[in-house]
Amino acid sequence: MIDLEKARRETLRWLILLTLDKARPLGASEGLILSVIAQVPQPVTAHELRREMDYLADRQLISIAGRESPQWHAELTRDGVDVVEYTVPVDPGIARPAKYW
């Protein structure tokens, strides 16, 4: 049986990484990330976004500034860039599509 909530979380993590890749080298505020992800037919709350950003930061794929402020700002780390560019294998927990090229 498919765990839809797990698939949703893992997809959200991948979308965060992709958004931050496009925002390089400046990174992006959580508001911008949320507005980009809102274009996908998958509603996401600000709380869910922060929870998954925190997960990615724990895995050292993104860095987060302003945790004590109302608006977080995130950037990809070197490891995050490698995951997005398919130069390293990705551990479970992120729904990165299989490389087709």
The answer to whether position 64 is within a domain reads yes
Q: Residue ranges of the alpha helices (H) in the chain?
A: 4-22, 30-37, 46-58, 78-84
Q: Mean pLDDT across the chain, nearest whole number?
A: 93
Whether the pLDDT of residue 99 is over 90: the answer is no
In this prediction, residues 62-82 reach a mean pLDDT of 95
User: Cα–chain-centroid distance for residue 45?
Assistant: 14
Confidence of residue 87 (pLDDT cuts 50, 70, 90): very high
- Nearest residue to 84 (alpha-carbon basis) of 64, 49, 56: 56
Q: Domain tally for the chain?
A: 1
Domain that holds residue 39: 4-84
> In degrees rounded to 5, what are phi and psi of residue 76?
-70, 145
Q: What is the pTM of this model?
A: 0.93
The answer to whether position 21 is within a domain reads yes
- The CATH number assigned to the domain holding 79 equals 1.10.10.10
Check residues 100 and 63 and name the one with the higher pLDDT: 63
Rounded to the nearest 10 degrees, what angle do helices 30-37 and 4-22 cross at?
120
Whether the pLDDT of residue 101 is over 80: the answer is no
Q: Answer whether 41's CB lies under 8 Å from 56's CB.
A: no
